[in-house]
Structure 1
Amino acid sequence: MTIGEYIRAKRKEVGLSADELAAKIGKNRATIYRYENNSIEKLPSDVLIPLANALSITPGDLIKRNSSVSTQSLQELTPSEQQHIKKYRKLSPAGKKEVDHYLDFRLSAEAPRVEKDAETSSS
């Protein structure tokens, strides 16, 4: 299943029209159709969190299906990030799930602030 097929299936699963999904993530319907038809080179990173939240999935669910997402940034980990990964790998599946949910919660809480900061810095 391509990323576009996955997005379309999840959108229908949660009962959203393309217009409703577009409104939830601040894009237009044509953009949603481009995502669903794989008419873009890659899913923009600034859309991952809002799109995942609107589809009731984690950003990781989209990332692992989006083969165009660069892994370069994943390879350039700080020592602190490397320690977090080592600790994460020691967790039970239930513990990992709790951490994943907390990260999704924090990311969704901070996404509006990050977007606002980006808008302010580009003005």
Structure 2
Amino acid sequence: MDVGKRIKQRRKEIKISAEDLAEAAEVSPSTIYRYEKGDIENMPTPVLDKIARKLRVSPSYLMGWDEDYTIAAHIDDDVTEEEMQDIRDYIKYIKSKRS
């Protein structure tokens, strides 16, 4: 999945409008839509950082370098793989309780 699709998917997931995201990133809503469509491929790092912060993910998740975008993506390296899987499972459990 490319950067634009990740942005759009996460934005929809947490129910943030393109306008709100644009305001946080200090760009126009049309720029956000163009990122999401893949019309703009070279996103400036400061904009990427602001988008990631608003979407509550890491820039590396948006870039496709890291598949974890939740709390598990921000845990220190001293967590075992088994503990990391427990964290992922707990996150799935919490999400399953949503109505």
TM interval, short-chain normalised: 0.5 to 0.7
Where does residue 3 of structure 1 map in the other structure?
Answer: 3
C-alpha RMSD of matched pairs (Å): 1.9
Q: Quote how far apart the aligned CAs of 1:11 are.
A: 0.5
TM-score by length of 1: 0.51
Where does residue 79 of structure 2 map in the other structure?
Answer: 93
Structure 1 contact 52–62 (Cα < 8 Å) conserved: yes
Structure 2: which 5+ residue stretches go unaligned? 66-76, 85-99
| Equivalences for residues 1-123 of structure 1 within 5 A | 1-64=1-64, 91-93=77-79
Identity within the alignment, %: 36
Amino acid at match of 1:44: P
Moved over 6 A (4+): none
TM-score by length of 2: 0.62
Structure 1: which 5+ residue stretches go unaligned? 66-90, 98-123
Structure 2 contact 8–36 (Cα < 8 Å) conserved: yes
Structure with greater helix share of residues:
1
Give a deviation string over 1:53-108, Cα, whole Å, max 9, x none: 0001012212335xxxxxxxxxxxxxxxxxxxxxxxxx4236xx9xxxxxxxxxxx
In the alignment of these two chains, the number of paired residues is 70
Structure 2 contact 25–50 (Cα < 8 Å) conserved: yes
Structure 2 contact 52–59 (Cα < 8 Å) conserved: yes
Task: Measure the CA separation in 2 of the matches of 1:43 and 1:16.
Answer: 20
Secondary structure of the residue aligned to 1:43 is coil
